[in-house]
Chain A
Amino acid sequence: NAGVTQTPKFQVLKTGQSMTLQCAQDMNHEYMSWYRQDPGMGLRLIHYSVGAGITDQGEVPNGYNVSRSTTEDFPLRLLSAAPSQTSVYFCASSRGQYSNQPQHFGDGTRLSIL
């Protein structure tokens, strides 16, 4: 039972490079989301999706794109990496509406932008 799988676990980029953080879940969850974790800030929502083909912005969406072509996958794209995007990124999923089930988190991706 894999749960939520994030790849890669670590990545170093140069300013201006682009990359995609991968997230996949095998629990048939409707809801998926991306958070970033910065010291002293807790976790903040970047983007979320309530189902395939539907995405929306969270608190800190600038500089990131997402898409949801399948229920299982929810990749996060950094278009032009900036040092301010150095962070730990978490993908999470949960069942949909009217569910009290908690979100399941991946193990995180530590991203450093030089």
Chain B
Amino acid sequence: AQTVTQSQPEMSVQEAETVTLSCTYDTSESDYYLFWYKQPPSRQMILVIRQEAYKQQNATENRFSVNFQKAAKSFSLKISDSQLGDAAMYFCAYRSATGSNYKLTFGKGTLLTVNP
């Protein structure tokens, strides 16, 4: 079974600074997808960024980028120019690309605080 580990329960960053959230995962599969979801106090689950394992290029979405290290099974999220609206719980998630079970396996989350 796959597992996802987020080793930082809480992180804080100053507004306009850069912060990196860590995620590692364990799998024996070679084809899979990785996601970062954001959950603000409104409770919504919002997709931040996704990465296909077969792609070597790291995904980027505006101020959000990932550092995907497949051999190390690491998938960190970098937030540049942090804004107050980035404050939220962030979840890393894994999904297999094979078989019929498309469940997401989540880490326990990292609570990000943005200080003005």
Contact = CB atoms under 8 A, between A and B. Distances in A.
Interface stretch (A42-50, A63-71, A77-85): A42-50
Contacts of B4: 42
A42 B108 contact: yes
Interface range on chain A (Cβ under 8 Å from partner):
20 to 34
A42 B106 contact: yes
A88 B102 CA distance: 21
B102 A100 contact: no
A68 to B, nearest CB: 14
A103 B104 contact: yes
B33 A43 contact: no
A102 B35 contact: yes
B103 A105 contact: no
B16 interface: no
A43 B91 contact: yes
A50 B101 CA distance: 8
A43 B53 CA distance: 22
B109 A42 contact: yes
A107 B44 contact: yes
A88 B45 CA distance: 12
- Shortest beta-carbon contacts, A-B, top 8: A105-B45, A42-B106, A42-B108, A43-B106, A45-B103, A102-B47, A108-B43, A31-B102
10 contacts: A41-B108, A42-B91, A42-B108, A43-B91, A48-B101, A50-B102, A90-B45, A94-B102, A100-B50, A102-B47
